[in-house]
Structure 1
Amino acid sequence: QITLKVGDTDETTDDQNLVIPTAEVVRETIRNLHGEGTNDFSVVVPLELLRQADQIRKIFNIVLGSIAAISLIVGGIGIMNIMLATVTERTREIGIRRALGARRRDIIQQFLTETIVLSGTGGLIGILMGLLTPTAFVGIQWFVDAYVMDRSTGTSDIGRLFSGMEPQIAVWSLPLAFGVSVAIGVIFGTYPARAAARLDPIEALRHE
């Protein structure tokens, strides 16, 4: 029995679009070596394993997407609560600005700018932590090799889990992450900004 493994490419090696054509090439190569009309061999492609791997990958992507969506919503609600508290604390300041001639649009622009700075800073921190992920992963692998490995076998369950895994960061995901962070800030910061702009100047000046 001869087992062939498709080499690493830019795509996943368990993709049927890559494995099946490779199996056809192997089949034709062996047939040419054995002579035309000779079929004393068989090439088996574990399609069921490929389908299971594809299904697991889809489920994994759905779970990660759900976690990301929940995190974004929770973060957006947190930003909205922070800005609402800021509006309450600065009610008198808003009243003074309105009394001095500031328009509602100016108040909205001020608070939206502050929201963008807040969410953008959070996005940059998240990007920095993401860039540090490969380094942290190497540290985890070193810890597993140093302290968790079974000395008798030279392996461990955790070590086998991390074996062959290498975190990769797509360049296009960095500006996308920052843009999503800013967009979440704008979406959830609009309500506090409009609430600040709708404050009555006289009532705002009376606020203690």
Structure 2
Amino acid sequence: MMKPVDLVRFATGAIVAHPMRSALTSLGVVIGVAAVVMMTSIGLGAQHMVTSAIGGLGSNMLIISPGASRGPGGGFVSQGAGTGMSLDDGDAEAIKAQVENIAAVAPAVRGGAQLAAEGANWNTRVEGVTADYLVARDLTIESGRMFDDREARQGKKVVVIGQTIAKELYGDADPIGKRLRVGTVPFEIIGVLTSKGQSGFGQDQDDIVLGPLSAVRSRIVGRRVRGDNVQTIYVKAATAEDLDRVQEDVTNLLRERHRIRQGAEDDFSVQNMASIMEAMSASTKTFTGLLAAVAAVSLLVGGIGIMNIMLVAVTERTREIGLRMAVGARRAWVLYQFALEAVVLSFAGGVIGLMIGLGGAWLMSTLAGWPMAIASWAVPTALGFSMLVGLVFGAYPAWRAAQLDPIEALRRE
């Protein structure tokens, strides 16, 4: 009786005896597995990048922006979201006072300005905010402090700067207490933010200056924002479960304050970061699945290649098969041998394809600048599917070999 080790030896010997043919037979599986691994890595990398980009704005947060501008007579003139000046300090105060389950409300204005300090210059964005801005945007102070509500109301000329500003203007020196000219206005630095690094959209989140809302609005932003208008209101819900309810309450409150008639369009927009993240994650998951499905077609093509080569091998080795059967080999042994050859070829191709796929995924993530992401199921699924391809597509050639008549096989030249 033939032992399993003998089957393995015979199958391995047949593969080694024809190295070029074996390599070409496995090539389709190599390409298929490598494609599956790389395509799923691209999809997951894109998903992580989107999640990081949206998550960097803050968690459990609503971003309220002005909507269409009001035209003469109180009608709306559609100029795109954010073009109007429909939000003001009163809106932020009303939301904070009347909407439940809110952790922070932070009105803000923003603009660009040239910074100058100790002979160095730097151009950056400046945001006028309140003390709650840190809570709303999940920011922390590394050194110094944040300005308080009193300083914000009085428009004190104090600022909190990001790590990029501190490095570019002050190097390794401590910037706390030093003067910083923002545009033409001198401010005192009272704090430095903890680094947040690059956002998912490639923006340096540490290249920022935060100042009291009224000071920045009147001295930096100037004519772009009139009176007590604000460009954005950040609202952070107490928990993720409260976010949808808070969004509904905020929308109803602002419609009431702005005297918007039933059925009329809002003059503001409310963006729910959680909903945006869910929608983007769902889209990228679908994209990942589509890429994996397209790549899986390569595995099927590789399986057909294995079947074709194995059929050729059966034809070439007909006399060998007849001789083995003539000396007592059972049909089952022949079946197992050829099936094992197909599985070994396919599995070897899967391992090589996996290594190529991992290398390609690393290279693409490096070039694209996003984190390398490999699904936990990708490796075992790729290897398992490659073996399944070999077994399925090698079954018919193996069955055909086992069905050969020994006498007819020995007669064949």
CA distance 1:102–1:129, change in 2 (3 Å): same
Q: Give the structure 2 partner of residue 74 of structure 1.
A: 301
Pair 1:84-2:311 in alignment: yes
Pair 1:204-2:279 in alignment: no
TM norm structure 2: 0.36
Whole-Å separation in 2 of the counterparts to 1:66 and 1:170? 15
| Cα deviation code 1:156-176 (max 9, x no counterpart) | xxxxxx2x4232224543232
Pair 1:177-2:382 in alignment: yes
TM superposition shift of 1:51: 6.5
| Cα deviation code 1:171-196 (max 9, x no counterpart) | 54323211111111001111100000
Could you say which structure has the higher helix fraction? 1
The residue type paired with residue 204 of structure 1 is: A
TM superposition shift of 1:72: 1.6
Q: Give the structure 1 partner of residue 271 of structure 2.
A: 45
Which secondary structure does the structure 1 equivalent of 2:302 belong to?
helix
How many pairs align?
A: 171
Q: Give the structure 1 partner of residue 105 of structure 2.
A: 30
CA distance 1:71–1:117, change in 2 (3 Å): same
| Cα deviation code 1:1-57 (max 9, x no counterpart) | xxxxxxxxx8962799xx996127x942238969xxxxx945442568556634542
Q: Give the structure 2 partner of residue 189 of structure 1.
A: 394
User: What are the ranges of 5 or more consecutive residues in structure 2 without an aligned counterpart?
Assistant: 1-47, 63-100, 107-130, 133-148, 150-229, 236-269
Whole-Å separation in 1 of the counterparts to 2:305 and 2:289? 24
8 Å contact kept, 1:94–1:107: yes
CA distance 1:57–1:137, change in 2 (3 Å): closer
Could you say which structure has the higher strand fraction? 2
CA distance 1:134–1:15, change in 2 (3 Å): closer
Which secondary structure does the structure 2 equivalent of 1:28 belong to?
strand
Could you tell which deviates more after superposition, 67-76 or 191-200?
Answer: 67-76
Whole-Å separation in 2 of the counterparts to 1:27 and 1:206? 88
| Aligned with residue 122 of structure 1, among 331, 349, 355 | 349
Larger radius of gyration: 2
Whole-Å separation in 2 of the counterparts to 1:27 and 1:86? 72
Aligned identity (percent) is 43
TM superposition shift of 1:70: 1.1
Whole-Å separation in 1 of the counterparts to 2:105 and 2:299? 53
1:148-163 paired onto structure 2 within 5 Å: 162=368
Q: Give the structure 2 partner of residue 99 of structure 1.
A: 326
1:51-62 paired onto structure 2 within 5 Å: 53-54=280-281, 56-62=283-289
Whole-Å separation in 2 of the counterparts to 1:70 and 1:23? 42
Whole-Å separation in 2 of the counterparts to 1:138 and 1:14? 15
User: What are the ranges of 5 or more consecutive residues in structure 1 without an aligned counterpart?
Assistant: 1-9, 35-39, 142-161
CA distance 1:135–1:49, change in 2 (3 Å): closer
- Superposition CA RMSD, Å: 3.6
Whole-Å separation in 2 of the counterparts to 1:13 and 1:112? 45
Which secondary structure does the structure 2 equivalent of 1:199 belong to?
coil
Whole-Å separation in 2 of the counterparts to 1:186 and 1:112? 6
